[in-house]
Each structure stands twice: as structure tokens, then as C-alpha cells.
Structure 1
């Protein structure tokens, strides 16, 4: 039986491609309207796993997913860094000259601002999803509306591609996606392992509290690759910290570092350990 993998957006979304990299191409995908529906589907067993974007190289962190990881505690079991390449798509027969409106997600519109400077007569229209904009263009069946989405989405909905690589700066737009599921995955003894934890400082009003906590890693030469803080959901002006580091939880120095970290925290929780993800290009065809 195929695994059912949930993602936010419409068929053809970048998250769908990420799901196939993370869980394999032989899966059934479950498009969801919101990120939280992914976690709910995993919790209830409707989905076997999910693909969630956690950060973009140009737009930064997707804070909602940081908060949902803390809320649901579904283990992270893998990651992939997907190169985002936007294309301009339209109904067959449409041309650049016939377009009056181009719709897409606000981030995609911003990332393609040079195109709109080149064609000032074309109106930018905000839409909830890149793949959803391609779906909407296909439904409208006119020569005046276009969308900015992936080439996969354009082909999936039977649209023509008028331009590729529409983004302002080519080759620098990447999104990191995590694979999450209900149960953790066994960690191998490989060296190329990333671990993600979250914790709350015990004495966050004391000078150098965070410095002392993170010193547990510095003293053992463990490389921190990302630090993020989010408001504590139950404690005004309190924060939960997310830390990603290169280290296998089976490694003695990692065990020692986490033991020392516990001296400075009210809780420490390991969200997951997994093989460091590769950088991939969108390759799945409709």
C-alpha cells in the first residue's frame, strides 16, 4: 500500500515535489488547505507523513511551522533543499501581449518584481498559492490571465509556459523542507547527521543565560547550523528556542552537550535526527 503524504497547497505545489523527494515518488499525495491540517492528518492516521517548508533562502523562516512543530511534536525524519524556479504560465493561445493580470502567492510576485517592471501594464494579483494560481488560470480559460508557478504545475493543469526562470535573481532561491511523521526514524551511525531540538531556558532573566546554554555545544566543537526563537504560547515574554546542529545523538560528545544543556533549561526536546538533506532541482513532470 502506498504511503499517504500530506502537503499544504494544490497539486503541483513545490511542496508536492518536496514530498516526493522526501518519501519517494511512489506515494499518494494529500493536498491540504493549511499547515495545521498536515499535522492533524498525521495525528489521526489519515496521512502517513507530511512535507513542510521550514525556511526559504530569500524570505526567511516559515514561523507557523516552527510553532506547529512545538505544538504537535511530530518527529522530523528527513530534509531536502529544493531550488525554487518560477515560470509564467497561461492558457493555450495567450501571449505576453494578451496578458492583463498575473496572479500568484505574494512571495512569488515579489520574487519576480523585475518582470512586472518590464511589463508595467500587467496587474499583479495576490493569490493564496502558486500552484493554485495555475489551477485558477486553467479554470478561467481566457487569454488575459496568467499565473506564476512551477513548470510542474503548469504542465499539470494544461497551461503553456511563456517564460521560465522568472525570478529576479537566478539560482539563489531555495526552500528547506522537513519530512515529519508520527513515529521517529531509527538513526544510523553515520557522521552526516543533523539534529533539531527545542528548549526553554530555566533562568531567562539572568545575564548570559542563552550564552551559557549554547556553550555546551561550543565547548565540544559541535557546529550549530541554525538558531530560532519563538514566543512561548503560555508565557508572556517567554521564548522557546529551536537549535539545529550537526551531530549524531549516539555520539558521546552530543550526549554530554545535551546533558549540560539540561542544566540551563526547564525542558529540552529532540524533534528529530536525520541525514543532512541534499539540494535538489524541481524534476517531477506532470
Structure 2
């Protein structure tokens, strides 16, 4: 199996992919999320794993737009605890740091710590793991990076400061995406991601939310996104959790009456906090069960 991820060796995407899929699948490193989606869409990858939100830095809005514009479906999710560290070349002392490089989401997660050093230049990069690799290869003086412990180990960097993220309970949520034609049915789904648009009139969004509540679904996420070519009009991404698929089916039967556009982006199992191979074995068993149900 080939899995596309945004990022390179030592990135949190790599860790999340191994947490979900285990050690067997090959990982296709992508510089951008757009490339990740393209690889899955054209068959170069069997699945993709993409970050969608962080508990400190918030939602990654461009990725919601990628989901809207693609024909991929969401087949799973994973929550990864994130511990950001300040890494530097061995022998570098904290007073020698002049610039800090990392992905913008990583820098945002560490705003409180970084604000203590207003003299530091913050440089946004494509990826945490790539920042660490380039530091190890090019060895520029006075440069540090924000990345995880896996990047320090992979590239022989020294941890100058540990766990510099603003909140110790720092998590990133990742979505697993696949081509609809190739995806197997998800066994025992209990969560779904929807995209909908309502008329631009008072009370329309409230009608949708009332329907969700009336069918006893838990609305775990509601994210507004601008609609291209329609200034100040918004579509909505909603994640709903349920105990039985019949609850979702009943909701979907009624939503068209109060929406102008409705898409089910995927029905899947809620992310687990189980780590490593144990989670991968769980997912493999689920896929086997899904194949059996399909037969």
C-alpha cells in the first residue's frame, strides 16, 4: 500500500501515518497538501493522510477547500499528541540562536515561548521534518528549528528546549482520504463529515442545527469556509457523531429540504487514542471485516 503524506522524514505526518497504518505501507512524501490530494486522485497513492486541525493553532482552512474540490472521501481519522521542541546543531547554545525555522502551524503552537525572544527571526517553511533535515545538511550558524523528537533523532540534532508548545495537551487531527471508487466500506462507522450550503437568509443555519439535534447526533465540529465567487457567503463543514448508522441516514433524508447543496465527505470510525502497531492492527482487522461485508 502507498500512502501520501504532506511532509518528509521526521515530520509529524510520518508519525501519524505509522500510527494509523503501521510500518508496512510505503510513504509518498509531498511538499504540499495539493500534491497529496493529486497523488491519491490519480492513483499514485492508495490513500492519503492530511492534517485538518490542531487543538492550539486551529483549523487548516485551505485543506477544507481541497476536500470540497476533490472527489476523495474520508475513510478514517487519527489524533496525534504533538510535542514541539527547539532543535539546533550539536554544540549550539541558546544565546547563539538568531533565527527559528519551521512550518507556520508549528510556530503558532509555540507562540508563548517564541515571544520571549523578540530578537529571533521566525522563518516559515514547508515542513518541520524538512526544516530539521536542511539544518543538518546546510549547518547554517545561529539557526534553530521547531520540530518533534523524531526529527532530532533522524538528523542528529540537539534539543535546546523541550516541549515548547503553549499547552501540553496539544493534538493534531489527521484525516485519511481515498478515492471513492477504490475505498472499501468502513465497518461500524460512527462519525461522518458533511459539507453543506444554505440560502443566505436568517435562520437557515439554525434549521440545520436543529435537525442534527433532533436526531440525537453530536455536532463535534462546525467550520465555515468562504464560497468562491460569492463574497461573504459561506459553506459549512460539519462533523457529526452517532451511535447507529440509521441516525445518520435519517438526518441525510431531511437535510436536503433545508440546504441548497449537501455532500457526504465520508463516514468512518472516530479517531482512537491507541498508539502504534496496536492501532494499525485494529484498522487492519476493520478492513478485513469491511471486505467480508462487501462480499
Shorter-chain TM range is 0.7 to 0.9
Structure 2 equivalent of residue 270 of structure 1: 264
1:75 paired to 2:73: yes
Structure 1 equivalent of residue 149 of structure 2: 151
Structure 2 equivalent of residue 172 of structure 1: 169
- The structure whose residues are more often helix, as a share, is 2
Relative to the length of structure 2, the TM-score reads: 0.84
Pairing of 1:226-237 with structure 2 (within 5 A): 226-237=221-232
Pairing of 1:56-71 with structure 2 (within 5 A): 56-71=54-69
User: Structure 1 pair 60/281, CA: closer, same or farther in 2 (3 Å)?
Assistant: farther
1:259 paired to 2:256: no
SS in 1 for 2:200: coil
User: Structure 1 pair 241/279, CA: closer, same or farther in 2 (3 Å)?
Assistant: same
* Runs (5+) with no aligned partner, structure 1: none
User: Structure 1 pair 248/236, CA: closer, same or farther in 2 (3 Å)?
Assistant: farther
1:102 paired to 2:97: no
Structure 2 equivalent of residue 138 of structure 1: 136
Question: Contact conserved, 1:101 with 1:123, CA < 8 A, in 2?
Answer: yes
Structure-2 separation of matches of 1:50 and 1:188: 19
> By how many angstroms is 1:248 displaced?
6.0
Give the aligned CA root-mean-square deviation in angstroms: 2.4
Deviations 1:4-45 (A, max 9, x none): 111112221111111222222212111111111111101111
SS in 2 for 1:181: strand
Structure-2 separation of matches of 1:282 and 1:150: 17
Deviations 1:48-93 (A, max 9, x none): 1111111111111111111110100311111111111111222223
Relative to the length of structure 1, the TM-score reads: 0.86
* Count of residue correspondences: 275
> By how many angstroms is 1:177 displaced?
0.5
Structure-2 separation of matches of 1:147 and 1:100: 11
Pairing of 1:1-286 with structure 2 (within 5 A): 3-116=1-114, 122-142=120-140, 144-169=142-167, 171-183=168-180, 184-189=183-188, 193-201=190-198, 204-247=199-242, 250-251=245-246, 253-279=247-273
Structure-2 separation of matches of 1:282 and 1:113: 29
Question: Contact conserved, 1:84 with 1:281, CA < 8 A, in 2?
Answer: no
